[in-house]
Amino acid sequence: MKTFKQIVVPIIITGIWINISETIRWIFLIEPYWIEQYQKLNITFPNEKVNLIVWMIWGFLFAITIFILSKKYSLFQTTIFSWFVAFAMMWVIIWNIGILPTGMLWFNIPLSLLETFIGAYICKRYLNLVSN
């Protein structure tokens, strides 16, 4: 039971936070940039239910990454390392294949850093609560 509280609970809470944050950011800010970019490229944006499920899985995989790093590194280090792994590398890849709508980066970078920081804070805080 202790393992469940120490590992599974913070990952689930962080994964829920990341998925809520990603969904809100997508709905209110990012979606138009992606739709326009795909239209410019004359391709259809992948927006089926399976794509949404994959993004939800991505959110929980990101939560696992944050959790693992939070056990070894400071809050700041966990935030930077996690953000770099999940966002910076993904954006470099999609920029390299020519589909990144760069206009969204001016607000997406700080918001994704904030999302990552809060996810790291959840994990660090939970680990501190459970260890005491």
Average pLDDT for residues 58-77, to the nearest whole number?
Answer: 97
pTM for the full model? Answer: 0.93
H-helix or E-strand spanning residue 70:
helix 49-70
3-50: per-residue pLDDT in tens? 777 889 999 999 999 999 999 999 999 999 999 999 999 999 998 999
Domain regions of the chain by residue span: 2-131
Q: Which residue has the tokens 């969204």?
A: 104
End-to-end C-alpha distance for the chain, whole angstroms: 16
DSSP 8-class letter at 41? T
115-117-119-121 Cα dihedral, nearest 10 degrees: -150
* pLDDT at residue 1 greater than cutoff 70: no
69-112: per-residue pLDDT in tens? 999 999 999 999 999 999 999 999 999 999 999 999 999 999 99
Q: Please count the helices (runs of H) and the strands (runs of E) in the chain.
A: 7, 0
DSSP 8-class letter at 48? S
- 2 band by pLDDT with thresholds 50, 70 and 90: low
Judging by beta carbons within 10 Å of its beta carbon (0-12, 13-18, 19+), is residue 86 exposed, middle or buried? Answer: buried
Residue 26 pLDDT: 95
